[in-house]
């Protein structure tokens, strides 16, 4: 293990004109990984543009190397991985941010909703066993009390995809708001699933008695199965056709993760950020 002085001396060699020296120093600092980050940050001066640029690139490489390793491990796990994945994706945009703050906020929202649902069930005036009552309660809490909404004005901002930003700004795109909704439903033990529509993303609620669709981007508007079938019948689809539409079936966690990453790929491609685009494509590869 190198001490602080040795790391600092290595960093000073990053602007060496000799390509061999630069590559050797770069590899050594990459091997140190997170151990080198504090000294790299302290070495940013603003006086040496080449050195600063190489330090920033190196910091990004170290952060991405850690995220890349975690994504690879996560992709090999069984069971529910959505929450871990979306906070890893948020770490891609904010490597130093403590994501536990947002997990705690989700837990707190879940507890408040659980209390409200329990009180609702005790009310003799409200029909028992009606899931729409629960969904309406969630919608009121999330979109009216908390103020979450779809960001239709600046759809292609990366902040619409990073869950920490969505929770801070209270706005997002269909998939990020749906993910937030799904994470809350999971805490409430509700049978809700993502639905990977070609140009939109919504949620399906399905149990032994009920099936309907929820659109978090539009304040949780609910569409019953019968309404959906009736709408599609206007374009010549039968009820049997409806049952066999692949993109109306519940999406797996890996499908949701892949679509989230692909949104970011499109965003950074539009902005011309080749490095981030390539990094995100590599992460997507783990979920093919």
For residue 223, the surrounding DSSP H or E stretch is strand 221-224
Consecutive H or E run containing 59: helix 49-75
- Residue-level pLDDT at 12: 86
The CA dihedral of 25, 26, 32, 35, to the nearest 10 degrees, is: 100
Query: What topology does CATH give the domain 4-75?
Result: 1.25.10
User: Which part of the chain has CATH 1.25.10?
Assistant: 4-75
Q: Measure Cα distances from 37 to 43, 68, 108, 159, 248 in Å.
A: 10, 17, 33, 25, 45
123-143 residue pLDDT tens: 887 777 789 999 999 999 999
Query: In whole angstroms, what is the distance from residue 7 CA to residue 29 CA?
Result: 8
What would the pLDDT profile of 182-221 be if each residue is shown by its tens digit?
Answer: 999 999 999 999 998 878 899 999 998 888 999 999 999 9
What is the per-residue pLDDT for 280? Answer: 97
Asked if residue 178 lies in contact with residue 189, where contact means CB atoms within 8 angstroms, the answer is no
* pLDDT tens, N- to C-terminus, the chain (288 residues): 677 888 888 888 888 888 888 888 889 898 888 888 988 898 888 788 888 888 888 999 999 999 999 999 999 998 899 999 999 999 999 998 999 999 999 999 999 999 999 998 888 877 777 899 999 999 999 999 999 999 988 888 999 999 999 999 999 999 999 999 999 999 999 999 999 887 889 999 999 888 899 999 999 999 887 777 675 566 565 666 666 676 678 899 999 999 999 999 999 999 999 999 999 999 999 998
Encoding tokens for residue 119?
A: 């009180």
> What is the sign of the dihedral through the CA atoms of 180, 205, 216 and 70?
positive
Sheet holding 202-206, edge to edge: 192-195, 202-206, 211-215, 221-224
């Amino acid at each position: 293990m190198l001490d602080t002085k040795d790391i600092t001396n290595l960093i000073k060699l990053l602007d060496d004109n000799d390509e061999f020296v630069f590559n050797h120093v770069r590899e050594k600092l990459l091997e140190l990984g997170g151990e080198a980050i504090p000294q790299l940050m302290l070495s940013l001066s603003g006086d040496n543009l080449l050195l600063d640029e190489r330090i920033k690139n190196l910091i990004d490489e170290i952060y991405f190397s850690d995220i890349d390793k975690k994504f690879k491990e996560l992709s090999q796990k069984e069971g529910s991985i959505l929450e871990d994945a979306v906070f890893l994706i948020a770490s891609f945009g904010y490597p130093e941010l403590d994501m536990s703050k947002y997990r705690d906020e989700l837990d707190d929202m879940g507890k408040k909703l659980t209390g409200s649902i329990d009180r609702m069930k005790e009310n003799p005036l409200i029909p028992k066993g009606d899931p729409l009552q629960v969904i309406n309660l969630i919608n009121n809490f999330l979109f009216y009390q908390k103020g979450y909404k779809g960001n239709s004005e600046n759809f292609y901002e990366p902040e619409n995809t990073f869950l920490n930003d969505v929770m801070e700004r209270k706005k997002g795109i269909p998939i990020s708001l749906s993910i937030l909704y799904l994470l809350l439903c999971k805490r409430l033990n509700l049978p809700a699933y993502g639905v990977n529509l070609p140009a939109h993303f919504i949620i399906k609620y399905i149990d032994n008695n009920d099936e309907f669709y929820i659109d978090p981007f539009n304040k949780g508007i609910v569409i019953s199965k019968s309404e959906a079938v009736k709408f599609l019948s206007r374009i010549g689809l039968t009820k049997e056709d409806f049952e066999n539409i692949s993109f109306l079936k519940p999406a797996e966690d890996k499908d949701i993760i892949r679509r989230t990453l692909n949104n970011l790929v499109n965003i950074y491609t539009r902005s011309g950020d080749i490095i981030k685009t390539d990094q995100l494509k590599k992460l997507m590869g783990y979920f093919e």
